[in-house]
Amino acid sequence: MVKDTTLEDYLWKNWFSNKSEDNTNALIENYMYLVQYHVQRITINLPKSVHKDDIRSLGLIGLYDAILKFDPSRDLKFDTYASFRIKGAIIDGLRKEDWLPRTTRDKVKRIDHAIEELQQSMQREILSEDIATHLGLTAQEVEETLKDSFFANLLSMEEKNKSSSEDVKEGIGQFIPDDREPLPEENVVQKESYQVLAKCIKKLNENEQLVVSLFYEKDLTFTEIGKILSLTTSRISQIHKQAIIKVRQSYQKYNSIGGGA
């Protein structure tokens, strides 16, 4: 899709001369594709109980905020600035709503307990099929539950404090409003959790690390990752599922022995 820069310039000129509702709506409509893009990418990680319309509404809030606060004098394209605002608004909204259902959280606890028992009894790498058989679930249920939980942990640990600077290079966290000041001990726990998760990911093999990084950090689809690694989409999906299970096992083991894993 080739953008009409002449139209963009015209819309922005109208808006800066008259910030009316009609001119604002015209800009929103012109950049709506950015909201659709981030909604599509983020909903890939969310359970089916989360409606796309709700995520789209959060994205629209981010786009509107970006339009109001955009400074054309800065050496920064609006598309880039708006993308940070849109994704930040969606992630912040997900945190506030606590989108992970209680039933899923309960299932995560059961899976964690099962992993601990199976590790002790089998003394080998635990597969999703092992967990499923042990709990009377399907392998897909286990994998989807762990994926949802993993993304929820990433959301929680990515949260950052307020910053007076708005340099995009500092990361998306600074564009996400923080309604409370975390206690010092909460900051320590959050930092330690992030460090533990990073160590667990580093224990994965090269392909697994790449898939996790490209999927969660770079927002690429399994198909796009497959093209990069010259693997099929189904194979990337398999690598992703096993990587999440490995990280979960490693994370649980680390916590159970007080950081000695």
Q: Residue range 116-128: average pLDDT?
A: 86
Does any domain span residue 205? yes
Determine the Cα–Cα distance for residues 104 and 255; give it in Å rounded to an integer. Answer: 21
228 shares a domain with 109: yes
Q: What is the pLDDT of residue 24?
A: 94
The pLDDT tens digits for 137-195 are 999 889 888 888 887 777 665 554 333 334 443 333 333 344 444 444 444 545 566 67
Give the structural domain span for 49.
Answer: 5-97
What percent of the chain is predicted at pLDDT more than 70?
A: 79
Cα separation values, 229 from 122, 205, 206, 226, Å: 32, 14, 11, 5
Q: Which residue has the higher pLDDT, 146 or 95?
A: 146
The pLDDT tens digits for 69-90 are 998 888 788 999 999 899 889 9
Instruction: Report helix, strand and coil shares of the chain as percent, to nearest 5.
Output: 75, 0, 25
Domain end marker among 97, 116, 131: 97
Query: In this structure, what CATH number is given to the domain that contains residue 43?
Result: 1.10.1740.10
130 shares a domain with 18: no
Cα separation values, 196 from 125, 127, 142, 167, Å: 19, 21, 22, 27
Determine the Cα–Cα distance for residues 224 and 215; give it in Å rounded to an integer. Answer: 9
187 shares a domain with 127: yes
Query: In this structure, what CATH number is given to the domain that contains residue 131?
Result: 1.10.10.10
The overall average pLDDT reported for the chain is 80
The pLDDT tens digits for 9-31 are 899 999 999 999 999 999 999 99
User: Residue with structure tokens 């359970």?
Assistant: 47
